[in-house]
């Protein structure tokens, strides 16, 4: 795995490489952009370039291999923890009682093997307010041998003060043909499957991999049947909501799918042109008679609202079920 194997993001990769050449590295980066498009992967590859014995992320030297195996002593990765899915103050400030060493303690020690230490905060929007405040002081003036990567799909939820200390690199969604190339070249899928996945994944490799799981794709079809009112009888909103929310972060993939579903129903209803829809593999279920446009509009509003609420510590199962009850078609 090297930089060249990360599909797309050419501008972003070139920008990062130019920092390496000019030796004027920002001490903190903010990698922003939707989930599943390769932000963390890009950060890891970049760290490899910095730590690599040959300075090119060769993939074969000791440093590169240790990064790949996830056991390089100078690479720290923080991510959401626990049921509330946040990054708490202990991880930043440390907690002697719980024997947790915090980032703010770590950064004053010299790196063990490399010239620099890299700290990746994956899901930086989930830093608690206290944690963000504690980190802010650190980011103001960290010892020079540290480099931070804050990674997020919800940039606006990171305090502005924290963001402004970072060099922002924005990652855009992958284009459909880039995704398709990923599915055929890297995952070795056949053309038809790659085509379908590249359409329904909204520019995200992560979403594509999620839909590759047969259970997830089947649940997507159950969901459509339930919402459109087709094939009634053997479905149950409670059970379906439980199964969908059990996929954890997958629930956001289902929610963006629901948005695309209503968009498709709208397009089909208004133009009748099925070549313009996203979910082409299920087009026959989407052809509905006498569609009420208010139903589409109100459902989309509710889905967007649910996407917003789901970011917080809430009972996802209940919220998802409540959504389904409101957007099911009662024709
Ligand atoms: Zn190397």
pLDDT (tens digit, 9 = 90+) per residue, 285-307? Answer: 888 888 899 999 999 999 999 99
Strand order across the 28-32 sheet = 75-79, 117-122, 146-152, 28-32, 167-170
What are the Cα distances from residue 41, in Å, to 22, 96, 279? Answer: 23, 32, 28
Ligand 1 midpoint to CA 65 (Å)? 7
Give the tens place of pLDDT for each residue, 202-253.
889 999 999 998 889 899 999 999 999 876 655 688 989 999 998 888 899 9
- Given a cut of 70, is residue 82 above it in pLDDT? no
pLDDT at 231: 67
Q: How far apart are CA 45 and CA 290, in angstroms?
A: 52
pLDDT level of residue 54 (50, 70, 90 thresholds): very high
Using N-to-C axis directions, what is the helix angle for 250-271 and 214-228, rounded to 10°? 50
**Domains within the chain, CATH numbers bracketed:** 3-170 (3.40.50.300), 174-203 (no CATH), 213-327 (1.20.272)
- Residue 56 contacts residue 85 (beta carbons within 8 Å): no
Ligand 1 midpoint to CA 68 (Å)? 10
Mean pLDDT of 110-138: 94
Helices in 146-292 by DSSP H: which ranges?
Answer: 160-163, 176-181, 191-200, 205-212, 214-228, 237-245, 250-271, 283-286
Mean pLDDT of 302-317: 88
Give the tens place of pLDDT for each residue, 142-151.
999 999 999 9
What are the Cα distances from residue 3, in Å, to 12, 17, 198? Answer: 11, 10, 22
pTM over 0.85, yes/no: no
Q: How far apart are CA 170 and CA 156, in angstroms?
A: 13
Residues whose beta carbons lie less than 5 angstroms from ion ligand 1: 52, 58, 61, 64
- Given a cut of 60, is residue 325 above it in pLDDT? yes
Ligand 1 midpoint to CA 22 (Å)? 19
Ligand 1 midpoint to CA 123 (Å)? 27
Of the ranges 42-46, 61-65, 198-202, 287-291, which one carries the lowest mean pLDDT score? Answer: 287-291
pLDDT at 103: 93
Ligand 1 midpoint to CA 49 (Å)? 7
pLDDT at 23: 72
- Given a cut of 80, is residue 331 above it in pLDDT? no
Give the tens place of pLDDT for each residue, 139-179.
988 999 999 999 999 999 999 999 999 999 999 999 999 99
Pair type for strands 28-32 and 75-79? unpaired
Ligand 1 midpoint to CA 51 (Å)? 7
Mean pLDDT of 266-278: 89
- Residue 52 contacts residue 63 (beta carbons within 8 Å): yes
Q: How far apart are CA 139 and CA 82, in angstroms?
A: 25
Q: What percent of the chain has pLDDT over 90?
A: 69
């Amino acid at each position: 795995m090297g930089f060249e194997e990360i599909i797309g993001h050419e501008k972003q990769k070139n920008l990062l490489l130019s920092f390496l050449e000019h030796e004027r590295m920002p001490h903190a980066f903010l990698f922003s952009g939707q989930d599943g498009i390769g932000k963390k992967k890009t950060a890891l590859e970049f760290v490899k370039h910095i730590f690599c014995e040959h300075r090119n992320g060769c993939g074969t030297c000791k440093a590169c291999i240790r990064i790949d195996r996830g056991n390089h002593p100078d690479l720290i990765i923080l991510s959401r923890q626990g049921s509330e899915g946040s990054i708490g103050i202990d991880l930043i400030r440390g907690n002697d009682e719980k024997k947790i060493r915090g980032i703010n303690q770590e950064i004053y020690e010299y790196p063990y093997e490399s010239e620099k230490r890299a700290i990746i905060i994956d899901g930086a929007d989930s830093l608690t307010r206290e944690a963000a405040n504690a980190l802010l002081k650190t980011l103001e003036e960290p010892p020079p041998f540290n480099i931070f990567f804050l990674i997020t799909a919800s940039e606006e939820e990171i305090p502005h003060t924290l963001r402004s200390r970072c060099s922002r690199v924005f990652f855009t969604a992958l284009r459909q043909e880039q995704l398709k190339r990923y599915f055929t070249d890297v995952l070795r899928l056949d053309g038809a499957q790659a085509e379908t996945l590249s359409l329904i994944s909204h520019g995200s490799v992560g979403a594509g991999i999620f839909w590759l799981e047969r259970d997830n794709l089947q649940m997507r079809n159950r969901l459509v049947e339930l919402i459109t009112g087709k094939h009634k009888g053997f479905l149950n909103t409670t059970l379906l909501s439980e199964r969908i929310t059990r996929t954890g972060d997958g629930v956001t993939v289902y929610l963006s799918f629901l948005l695309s579903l209503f968009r498709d129903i709208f397009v089909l209803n208004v133009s009748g042109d099925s070549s313009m829809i996203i979910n082409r593999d299920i087009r026959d279920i989407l052809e509905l008679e006498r569609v009420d446009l208010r139903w589409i509009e109100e459902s989309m509003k509710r889905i967007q609202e649910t996407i917003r609420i789901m970011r917080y510590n809430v009972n996802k199962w209940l919220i998802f079920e409540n959504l389904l009850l409101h957007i099911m078609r009662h024709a």
